[in-house]
Amino acid sequence: MRLLDWFRNRLAETLPEDLPEGGNEGQEKDGEKMKIIIGLGNPGTRYAGSRHNAGFRAITELSDRHGIRVNINRQKGLCGSGVINGQKVMLVMPQTYMNNSGECVGPIVDYFHVPLEDVLVIYDDIALDVGQIRVRGKGSAGGHNGMKSLIAHLGSGDFPRVRIGIGAKPPQMDLADYVLGHFPEEELTVIRKSVKAAADAAETWISDGIEAAMNHYNTFRAEP
């Protein structure tokens, strides 16, 4: 393995398979604070590219941009550590299936003692049109089962998030079938742009804070 790859993954590799509660190795264990970016989705090829996996796609975008390999299997998730805009970050994709995402995220956040304001979650939202994203500093689950799990395991909804619009389901369609389904051809270009914008918003949050990200991206609307 190249030295650069070793450095980027060193922090994630220190994470045990089963984390003790209240680990004594905090985020400043090597003198540098860390931020965590989590993308929500479902594992497996069956769900790749589905509406519900918009968060995974944003993590993949950040991974590709910054050369962070998200391939360390720890605590029911895939993790990778690196640097974005001069800031140490960990990218996380829970592998628990959406409804149990908190089983992965809670222990990781607790182990590294990362304050909730330094934890960003990216996920899909049926309340937003395809092409829209929204950035918030905190909030409720809004009916999203993955977010319900996160809030239950983190003990609070006081963490920033980026929501990627996937559009409302047709009236006659089951919600589960809709979110687990794939985007039609005419929406593919728009959702790609939305995912890129969500990654841009995460980078702005890292560099300039949540207010700057909100001000810049809450008016975003991707066009075909």
Distance CA 164, CA 22 (A): 32
On the CB side of 219, how many CA atoms lie within 13 Å of its CA? 3
Of the listed 52, 66, 113, 153, which one is catalytic?
Answer: 52
Report the sign of the C-alpha dihedral through residues 220, 82, 125, 112, in that order: negative
Is beta strand 161-165 parallel, antiparallel or unpaired with respect to 133-136? antiparallel
Active-site residue, 52 included: yes
Phi, psi of 89 (to 5 degrees): -135, 155
β-strand partners of 131: none
**37: which strand partners?**
91, 120
- Residues classed as catalytic: 52
